[in-house]
Amino acid sequence: HSRFAHEAHSTVSCEECHPGVLQSEKATDLLFFDSIVTCAKCHAPKQDRNNCTLCHDFHPNNWKASKTVEAQNLASLASP
């Protein structure tokens, strides 16, 4: 699972991530990017101070809520 915010990349030209965008003729044209290699040009581990979870969510949407409830239940068991 990954997420992407175009707003955060507003200073980057479309062509940098979507080669061939200038040849696009319709709004329905799919503007693929090459691969994660495209992202790594700017977000390489040694160049970027962000971590993987900036773009990647490794858990389903309900994971956080269910784990929070589990953690609260475990904490209540440990309390006197």
Tens-digit pLDDT profile for residues 11-70: 888 888 888 788 888 878 777 776 777 787 787 766 555 566 667 666 656 555 544 445
Do the Cβ atoms of 57 and 3 come closer than 8 Å? yes
Predicted local confidence at residue 39, as pLDDT: 80
Predicted local confidence at residue 75, as pLDDT: 47
Rounded Cα–Cα distance for residues 17 and 71 (Å): 40
Per-residue three-class SS string for the chain: CECCCCHHHCCCCHHHHCCCHHHCCCCCCCCCCCCHHHHHHHHCCCCCCCCHHHCECCCCCCHHHHHHHHHHHHHHHHCC
Predicted local confidence at residue 80, as pLDDT: 47
